[in-house]
């Protein structure tokens, strides 16, 4: 079955770095776009970043632009989020989510989602 499993979360000091991973299985990874979405404790959902199926296009929220980098390794069926210059306000559960269907179009809903990994930025 389709499965997304995030890892790499943890506690990091302000200004530090962390790399999240999202391992995918149960479908042809290389044909789907992917998103990262985060949720601060007790808050709503905030879209973070998107990468096209071939890595050819990437998009970022203004709040993370220049600090976070989304990437993928289609040979390993894995999505990544490199997070640098972390701030307290980056503390959240980070979810990876797949575009609902495969292909070029980035205008797709998110389905399914992984279970999330918690990132805590604190001194």
Q: Which residues bind another protein (CB under 8 A)?
A: 35, 37, 44-47, 50, 59, 61-62, 95, 97, 100, 106-116
- Toward another protein, which CB reaches closer, 86 or 93? 93
Per the CB < 8 A criterion, the answer to whether 48 and 113 are in contact is: no
CB distance 72 to 19 below 8 Å:
no
Task: Provide, rounded to whole angstroms, the least separation between the CB of residue 93 and another protein.
Answer: 9
Closer by beta carbon to another protein, 14 or else 54:
54
Question: Which lies closer to another protein via its Cβ, residue 16 or residue 23?
Answer: 23
Q: Which residue has the tokens 């499965």?
A: 3
Neighbours of 95 (CB within 10 A): 22
- Tokens describing residue 5: 């499993």
Q: Please say which residue, 18 or 37, places its beta carbon nearer to another protein.
A: 37
Q: How far apart are CA 55 and CA 39, in angstroms?
A: 24
We find the least distance from the C-beta atom of residue 44 to another protein, in angstroms, to be 5
CB atoms within 10 A of CB 60: 17
Minimum distance from residue 64 beta carbon to another protein (Å):
10
């Amino acid at each position: 079955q389709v499965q997304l499993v995030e890892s790499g979360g943890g506690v990091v000091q302000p200004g530090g770095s962390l790399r999240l991973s999202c391992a995918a299985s149960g479908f042809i990874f290389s044909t789907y776009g992917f998103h990262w979405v985060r949720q601060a404790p007790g808050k709503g959902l905030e879209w973070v970043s998107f990468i096209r199926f071939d890595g050819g296009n990437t998009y970022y929220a203004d709040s993370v632009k220049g600090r976070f980098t989304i990437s993928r390794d289609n040979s390993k069926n894995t999505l990544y989020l490199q997070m640098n210059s972390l701030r307290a306000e980056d503390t959240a559960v980070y979810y990876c989510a797949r575009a609902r269907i495969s292909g070029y179009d980035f205008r797709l809903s998110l389905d399914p989602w992984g279970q999330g990994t918690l990132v805590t930025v604190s001194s």
